[in-house]
Each structure stands twice: as C-alpha cells, then as structure tokens.
Structure 1
Amino acid sequence: MRIRLANTKQFLALEKDSRGRNQGPSKKLLKIIDPSGIHVVEFLMIHNDCECRCRWVVKVKDQKLPITVTMDNSFEALDQNSSLVDNEDIKEAIEREALEEIPALDPCRLN
C-alpha cells in the first residue's frame, strides 16, 4: 500500500492551488499548522473530472492530535507537491525515529 504525504511547504503550495475551488483549508489553519509537520492524505477522489478532492490529516502546532482538512487541487499540483511513499518505508522511518528518542541508559542509574 502506498501513502501520499506532504511536508508543510508542499501543503501550503497545495493550499494556494486550492484557492477559488470548492474546498480548502481555512485561514485559521494556516496560523496553526506545524512548520515541520508531515501531513497525510486520508482519502482521495476525482472531483468534477478536473481535480482531486483529498481529506488530509494535518499536524498542528503544540497538539498531539492532528486535524482533518478537505482540499480540492489540480492533478498537477497534487503530483508536484506531495509524495507517494510505500507503507513499509513509513513504518521503518517511524520505528527509527522512535528508537532515536529513547535516551541512552546511564549504567550508574540501573541499580
């Protein structure tokens, strides 16, 4: 299975492309989006035969739980501003990051 992802810079480019279309993020989201976040497409469908409608899971600042946003984009903008990643690659990256967060054991504190 492949998953479509975008970093915040890509997501903001998609937001710009969504202006004037039926669905897009609110201005409020642009103020709270996590600048270093990775955002995931939860659902994608063809809309009006000329664009994609996606439901995004969006990482926001200072919150553990993401929010969902529906956004319409051209096929070209979506392809240029997101990546398709294999599910196993994501799993490995998450596991690697989780392992890096585990502090090194101090042998003096084991007793």
Structure 2
Amino acid sequence: MDWVIWHKPTCSTSRWVLAALREAGIQPEVRDYIAAPPSEGEVRDALAVLGIGARGLIRRKGTPFVELGLGDPGLSDDALIAAMAAHPILIERPVVFAPHGAVLCRPKERVHDLIARNGAGVAR
C-alpha cells in the first residue's frame, strides 16, 4: 500500500498532517474524503488496519451525530459504518495509511510515529 491521507482541506489539523508528510519527503495520495466518500467496505477496511471499532472513528463535533441518534450505545458497528459512508463528515480526520499500518492523527503528532515506523523521513 502506498501512502494515502483521508484529508479535509478546510481542517487545520488535516493540513498540518499533510504538511508533515510532505516535509518528511512523502507525497501521499490525497483523498478529500468529503468529495470522494469511502464506501462501507473501505470504512471497514480502515477500521481493521487502524485496529479500532467504529465508535473510535466517529466525529461528533460539527456533524449530524446527535441528529442521527448515533450516541445510542445499542447501535452496532454496522449501523455506524453505514452512517459514516452515507455522511462522510462523521469520519474523524485525518486518517493516514502507510505501507506498514495506519493512524488516526488525533493528536496530529501521531503522524510522526507512523513516519518513523515506515522508515520514512525523520521522526520528531
């Protein structure tokens, strides 16, 4: 797998992470995940490589999280994944995929661990 970032251009954290990747000499595929939303299958694959459950990838702030009733603890991962695919703004950002792993960059500095783990750039 090549380097890919699920990016939202208006998000300062996402822009910071993209700049850190480029500063490390990495030219990732930049996927504006709002304009080109991941499918349910891609969300599932992302969760598997991230090693987290669906609730770990859901963004609450500035999204229809409350309106959609996604805080209901009885909702399955399948229901949450379907909601993220239908409303990509619900996906926390940025997510960076690398040849050896992936990371949700919250906090943003987590990208440096991924860079180091993949033998690219200089970790900070």
TM-score, L = length of structure 2: 0.26
More strand by share: 1
